[in-house]
Amino acid sequence: MVKLKKLTLKQIFENEQTLPATFDKELKEYLNKYDNKKGYKFAGVIMKDEVKKLKINDKMFFIVNYDTTRQSGSHWVAVVKQGDKVYHFGSYGVPPLTQIKGRFSQFNIHFNDRPVQLADTAICGHLCLAFIEFMLEEKKTFYEFISNCLEYSNRYKKDVS
């Protein structure tokens, strides 16, 4: 198991073609240090069919894979809940999984609708970690994080050659 290290958004996007995929155990080990920090509960790194089992806390965060527990895993998204607001970050810029929308239907769910990850790259887990760290600082907004992603994303770089 590789020990993950803190990366800035700029570092993640600069190394998008070479960063390795992340796995649940690595993500859990990295995020454990944030459990109960500033009152946030770390609810785990889970598969989409486990979302329904989550205990909802006023302040919480977790990472979800698009696959079920019977599959090997495909794509990570992150969720941070702050009171009555739920922030969903997915590097493909699609709405939250139906499992997330269903479990958190009584809350106001915010999500990004612009993709920031290139196809055939494996930075989703790294971006989820950066998102959670950013949101737990509570000094900046969800939309500032998305703006920063769009600024560094290789999907929107202009070829000046």
Range of the domain at 133: 9-156
Q: For residue 127, is it within any domain?
A: yes
Residue-wise pLDDT tens digits, 89-107? 999 999 999 999 999 999 9
The pTM of the full predicted model, rounded to 2 decimals, is 0.95
| 161 within a domain of the structure (yes/no) | no
Alpha carbon distances (Å) from 122 to 16, 58, 91: 7, 31, 10
Contact 76, 128 (CB under 8 A): yes
In a domain, 77, yes or no: yes
pLDDT in tens, 45-99: 999 999 999 999 999 999 999 999 999 999 999 999 999 999 999 999 999 999 9
In the chain, the number of structural domains is: 1
Q: Examine residue 126 and state whether it is found in any structural domain, yes or no.
A: yes
Question: CATH code at 125?
Answer: 3.40.395.10
Distances (CA, A) of 26 to 6, 18, 79, 136: 12, 17, 17, 19
Question: What does the alpha-carbon distance between residue 2 and residue 22 come to, in Å, rounded to a whole number?
Answer: 9
Only one residue has tokens 């109960």, namely 36
